Every structure is written in C-alpha cells, then in structure tokens.
Amino acid sequence: MKVSTDKILKRWGILALLALVTLYCLGPFIWQLLTSLKAGVDLTRLPPLLPPAPTSENYVAVFEEHPFLRIIMNSLVVATSSTVLSLFVGSLAAFSLAKLPIRGKAVFLAFVLSVSMFPPISTVSPLYLIIRTLGLRDTVWALIMTYTTFTLPLTIWILTNFFRQIPHEIYLAARVDGCTRFQIFYKIFIPLAAPGIFATAILVFIFSWNEFLFALTFTSTVNSRTIPVGIALFPGIHEVPWGEIAAASVVVTVPIIALVFVFQKRIVEGLTMGALKG
C-alpha cells in the first residue's frame, strides 16, 4: 500500500503547488475586488480581510464623480482601432514575407524587430513633437497611430511564422485554381491562420488597453484620455480614493478577461484543428 500513499501525496503536492501559483497570479486581482467592495475606514484596516459590509458605492462613485464612461469609450476606440489596423497591415506584410518571392526578407524582418527594441521612453519626446506638428495632440488618433506602430513588429513576426507553417503546396494549389495572390490571402491563409490572428489580436488589444506612458504624454483632457491615465488621475489633492481606484480597475479588467475567454475558445479550436497537413 506504500505505492498508493505515495501517489496520494504526490497528487496533493501538485494540487498545493497549483493553488499556490493560482493565488500568486490572481491575488492582486482578488485584493482589488475586495477593496472595491469596502467603504470608509474598512479600506485601511486589516483584518478583516473580507469586507464587513459590502457596498457598491465605489462603483457608483466611479461613474458619477468621474467621466469614466467616456474614458472607457476612448479606450475601446483606441484599442479596437489599433488592433484592427495593426492586424490589417501586419497580416498583409506577414503574408508577403512568408509566401511571396521578395528579396531581403530576412533583413526586413530583422529591421522590423529592431524597431521594437527601442524603449518607449526614448521615443516619447520625438513622437510628441511629431504628433504636435500633425495637430493630433489630445486626440485618439495620436494613440491609435502610436499603438499600431509599436505593435506591428509583434504582429508581423507572429503572423509570418503562422503563414510559413501553411504548406507551400496549398499556396500553389490555390494559384493553379485561379486565385490572385490577394484572394489566396483572404480565402485560404486568413482562415487557416485564424488561431494566430486571434492570439495576436488579444496581445495587441491588451497592450493598447494597458499602455500608460504615451497615453499620459499625448492626452490632456477627457476627449482622448484612456483608462490607465484616467485611473491614475483619480487621486485628489487631499486623499487617494483607494476604493474608487479599485472599483475602476475591476470594471476595466472584466472586459479583458471576457475577451480572453471568448478568443481562447477559438484559439484552442484552431490549434486542435490540426488539419494543416491536409
């Protein structure tokens, strides 16, 4: 019976480890959630860990005392537009790099990668000047342009690899079947690379949703302010509204989680399709 006790121990050990990792990852979010439900002095007291009198007043305050709905809309517009633009340009570039006879592909890919190596802080001043010259200061366009540019290398690299995995004979077959190169791109390659496209979309969307530095620099009013900046500007002169900050954070995290879950299903579907060998 010694073997089975060993097995049980092993199983419990693994479970404990999993619980620990989960707690480590979810901990901050749970803390945030608990904080958002506390009010007044409870906010700064521990114990109790759980809110003694759960309240929704922080959530109400977020929307009533701040233009938070507008800020969320700004973020949605910026993140969605950046994702669409980045994927549109990036997938076309990736298709060309993966399948068309172009000279200097490797050099181009290396160049694209090198662009993403500049730390944002080093580009923020020149970018600010460019955006001021273009008259785009304090508009969502300033952010959409910046985010599209900064996410393009990632998009191009991921999608180039995905397109390369599609057998060349499928490309040739479509050519013989009478497709133009662009038709091959959207009729065959986009559907086949769907898992990669969804994965990239999530990454780009989350980047645009969370980005703080450029958003802080290029926006000045609620016209174009996005969520991370909006929340950072909650604190007043006399107090830091921890409850409201927590509530706002929870509100803006939920859509991301929903998004990931929805797309994750598609990604898993795509990966288990496994029919690329045709």
Helices (H), the chain: 2-36, 57-65, 68-99, 105-115, 120-133, 140-165, 168-176, 181-183, 190-192, 194-210, 213-218, 227-232, 242-273
Peptide bond into 235 cis (omega under 30): no
Q: Does 269 bind another protein (CB under 8 A)?
A: no
Which residue lies nearer to another protein by CB, 194 or 222? 194
Give the number of other CB atoms < 10 A from CB of residue 169: 9
**Phi/psi of residue 234, nearest 5 degrees:** -60, -45
Which residue lies nearer to another protein by CB, 136 or 174? 174
Among positions 155-214, residues that touch another protein (CB under 8 A) are 167, 169-170, 172-180, 183, 188, 191-192
Q: Least distance from C-beta 278 to another protein, angstroms?
A: 5
Q: Do 112 and 157 meet the contact criterion of CB atoms below 8 Å apart? A: yes
Indicate which single residue of 47, 104, 119, 278 sits in contact with another protein (rule: CB under 8 A).
278
CA distance 132 to 255: 32
Going residue by residue from 123 to 162, which x/- string records binding to another protein, judged by CB under 8 A?
----------------------------------------
Q: Does 98 bind another protein (CB under 8 A)?
A: no
Q: Do 93 and 115 meet the contact criterion of CB atoms below 8 Å apart? A: no
Q: Least distance from C-beta 99 to another protein, angstroms?
A: 12
Number of residues that bind another protein (CB under 8 A): 22
Q: Do 232 and 151 meet the contact criterion of CB atoms below 8 Å apart? A: no
Which residue lies nearer to another protein by CB, 90 or 270? 270
Q: Least distance from C-beta 166 to another protein, angstroms?
A: 9
Nearest CA among 153, 160, 178, 183 for reference residue 99: 160
Q: Do 78 and 150 meet the contact criterion of CB atoms below 8 Å apart? A: no
Which residue lies nearer to another protein by CB, 27 or 167? 167
Q: Does 276 bind another protein (CB under 8 A)?
A: yes
Q: Least distance from C-beta 170 to another protein, angstroms?
A: 5
Which residue lies nearer to another protein by CB, 41 or 176? 176
Q: Least distance from C-beta 177 to another protein, angstroms?
A: 4
**Phi/psi of residue 177, nearest 5 degrees:** -70, 0
| Residues of the shown chain interacting with another protein in the complex, contacts defined by CB under 8 A | 167, 169-170, 172-180, 183, 188, 191-192, 273-278
